């Protein structure tokens, strides 16, 4: 299998799109910038699994996003973070 496209500590943006098929990216995370916290394993792509496929498997990354950047009315501390696992094809390098 190919090497990971992104590495731990790298800033990434989660794509802001809404395909007409099943996908596992919550709307509040779309378009957000975070940092790769961990490179996880490979798993079948959910957009293809719903049609009975899922090959080739896609790499998953754990992305850390500061919660105050997700919700403007967030009342927790500045250090609170959300960690979310996102498929590679939903990520792009952030400036």
pLDDT tens, position by position, 13-27: 999 988 766 678 899
The full set of domains in the chain, from first to last, is 11-88 (2.30.30.50)
Alpha-carbon distance of 86 to 74, in angstroms, equals: 22
Q: Are 45 and 54 in contact (CB under 8 A)?
A: yes
Q: What pLDDT is recorded for position 94?
A: 96
Q: Between 48 and 43, where is the model more confident?
A: 43
Model confidence at 56: pLDDT above 90:
no
Model confidence at 76: pLDDT above 70:
yes
């Amino acid at each position: 299998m190919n090497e990971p496209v992104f590495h731990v500590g790298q800033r990434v943006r989660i794509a802001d799109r809404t395909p007409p098929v099943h996908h596992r990216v919550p709307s509040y995370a779309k378009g957000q910038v975070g940092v790769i916290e961990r490179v996880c394993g490979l798993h079948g792509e959910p957009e293809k699994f719903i049609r009975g496929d899922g090959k080739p498997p896609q790499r998953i990354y754990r992305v850390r996003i500061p919660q105050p950047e997700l919700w403007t009315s967030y009342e927790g501390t500045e250090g609170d973070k959300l960690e979310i696992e996102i498929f590679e094809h939903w990520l792009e390098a952030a400036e």
